[in-house]
Structure 1
Amino acid sequence: MFKTYEEIRVWREEMIESVSGDHLQLNAFHDQLIHHTFHLSKEKIEREQGPPPAPFAFFLMGSAGRYEQSLWSDQDHGILFDGDEKHQDYFLSLGEEIREGMAVVGYERCEGNVMASNPLWCQSVEVFTLQISKWLKDAEWQSLRHFLIFFDSRVLVGESALLLKVKETSFAVIEGEPEIFTRLMNNVNYVKKGVGVFGQLLPDYSGEKKGHFNLKQTVYFPYINALRILSLFQQVTKSSTLSRFGALRSLYPTLSEYENGFRQFLQQRLELKKDAANYQNVHVVKVEHLSKEEKKQLKNQVKSAQKLYQMAKSIVKEGQS
């Protein structure tokens, strides 16, 4: 269908506005863009180095892994392969081509280098499973951060069973050493205050984003961290926040009211940022540009998201005692 990354980029520019008003349609479109980019990358590497030497899974992480990308998104992806470590060079070449192709299409390279071009995120199932176990047992802040990034993953192309195997191993490690869970919760314990004592939205007061309200840190992160914590606790392998709500609803019926709030937030985020020009501006809004109703909705979202996060922490603490 497409012969170059540039053709995919043009298609993105032509189509993105038509799907930008609906969260699910937008993320389905992102999947299509990345899928086409992946296959062009794979075809190029196959011409140069032959077919893949082992079964593999190309997986997405971050907002793409959670099926929660906004208008703009950066890259978060990895490759697992079921074979000898000598095959890593082949898949790293594929990862590098994917990275460059996605950059052309319109996905910024990940600042943290969480991409399949990085050996850390391009490994055999056997080695990656050992690495996950080491991250958890080390329980260092950065190691646990890497694990939490990985946990929000889903396979876009290839063998889903490879990723599932690693996730199930991680559950076994956490179950065997419960103190790991406490460290994981501490890793996501910071919640940026979004509403002041007088009920006002709290924007950044200095720096490049002065006067802007951070949607990501004040609303989005508390929602995703709450559902991630509960999913780890209940060994739910799903990666999107909405699918996690669905999987956990029967265990925690009170989640339903928060699920509706999260859906509303995803929609409001799209409406507020429909004119965002780049990835840097997709997570912040200028407070003075918000209407009275928009401010009210955001205040309610801040309170709801942070209440949910505290509830999730309480559920886990009670379950561990």
Structure 2
Amino acid sequence: MSYEDIRKWREQQIHLQMDHEQLNDFHDDLMLKTVQLALEKVKVEQGEVPAPFAFFLMGSAGRREQSIWSDQDHGIIFNGSEQHQAYFQKLGAEIVDGLEIVGYERCEGKVMASESRWTKSIEDWKRQVSDWLDEESWQSLRHFSTFFDSRVLLGEGKLLEDVKQVTFSYIQSHPEIMNRLVDNVGFIQKGVGVFGQLLPQQSGKRTGQINIKTTALFPYVNALRLLVLCNHIMKAPTLVRFAALKEKYSFLSEYHRLFESLLAFKFQFTKDATEYEEVHYIPLKKLSKKDKQELKEYMKKGAELFQQAKNTIEKECSKW
């Protein structure tokens, strides 16, 4: 099997996926086959894997929220010495090349296992996470949030768990960091104007289209990440985070249903996108009056949920 074979399989099968869950299962299969092939290639060229490792996904892939097109967000943790860094970065570079051939765009921000920032030994990863939180800059906390939305696709799951455990220890001894993390994601792009009208892009090639990711999805995603951090839960997919927290926070039940419905809504309106750029935008002219009302409700409730999460964190998590 080659990367080209996997790409052809993707092209034949991806439009047959019937809903959001099926589509994300399919992405997992595609990426796993690609990563396994990359690993075999590197073994032939560089020899056997020198240390236990985990290849993990971040971003929408980590949260199982990928659309029909997706870019790459991933990293590697290995349990070995500095001399193994070169091997795992070569593996990361091979994975990036393979995924690109299969149909996953390179990440513009270089959040990929080919980069030294995202491929490290477990000790360096633990230091990196603590340094990001210590630094408290907008960018370092953004890197941290990206990292925390991670799950292992191939390899030793315990390695990622051990790094995430460092996060919880840090928050325990520096509870005030939770307020900084809230502020870091506190800006919610307005999707609805003062007169109750949807606010599409006003210029450029997306004129007349609304960014469903920033205006509707992100408030739910950010709220749930903050709540699992506060409760020391490692899970990455937002739907799994809802399920893990619902018993403690009964107010989440309504938002859980809404978020599932929002993912189905996004799937319906982006499943025929022909390129990665398109999957975050919905042309307003595609939406019926009922669709527009639904979208406004998702946005309104997302902002409401974020505020509830913020209040919960101020009360429970930021001053142990």
TM-score over 0.5 for the alignment? yes
1:12 & 1:80 partners in 2: Cα distance? 28
- Partner residue of 2:143 out of 135, 142, 146: 146
Q: How does 1:1-321 map to 2 (within 5 A)?
A: 3-19=1-17, 21-319=18-316, 320=318
Tell me the number of residue pairs that the alignment of Structure 1 and Structure 2 aligns: 318
Partner SS for 1:119: coil
Shift of 1:179: 1.9
1:99 maps to amino acid: V
In 1, are the aligned partners of 2:34 and 2:98 still within 8 Å (CA)? Answer: yes
Structure 1, residues 158-210: CA drift from partner, whole Å, max 9, x if none?
Answer: 00000000001111112111221111111101101111122111111123321
Structure 1, residues 31-67: CA drift from partner, whole Å, max 9, x if none?
Answer: 0000000011001000001110000000000000001
TM (norm. structure 2) is: 0.98
In 1, are the aligned partners of 2:210 and 2:284 still within 8 Å (CA)? Answer: yes
In 1, are the aligned partners of 2:178 and 2:313 still within 8 Å (CA)? Answer: no
2:167 maps to amino acid: S
1:314 maps to amino acid: N
1:191 & 1:76 partners in 2: Cα distance? 23
Partner SS for 2:56: strand
1:137 & 1:115 partners in 2: Cα distance? 23
Partner SS for 1:205: coil
Structure 1, residues 85-122: CA drift from partner, whole Å, max 9, x if none?
Answer: 11010000000000000000000000000000000000
Shift of 1:267: 0.4
Percent of aligned pairs with the same residue? 52
Partner SS for 1:120: coil
2:134 maps to amino acid: K
Unaligned 5+ runs, structure 2: none
Structure 1, residues 267-297: CA drift from partner, whole Å, max 9, x if none?
Answer: 0101011211111010101112211111111
1:208 & 1:292 partners in 2: Cα distance? 24
1:17 maps to amino acid: H
2:244 maps to amino acid: A
2:223 maps to amino acid: A
**CA RMSD, aligned part only?**
0.8
Unaligned 5+ runs, structure 1: none
1:145 & 1:213 partners in 2: Cα distance? 24
Give the ranges of 4+ consecutive aligned residues of structure 1 lying more than 6 Å apart after TM superposition. none
1:13 maps to amino acid: E
2:116 & 2:62 partners in 1: Cα distance? 19
Which moves more between the two structures, 221-230 or 189-198?
189-198
2:300 maps to amino acid: K
2:189 maps to amino acid: K
2:2 maps to amino acid: T
1:182 & 1:303 partners in 2: Cα distance? 23
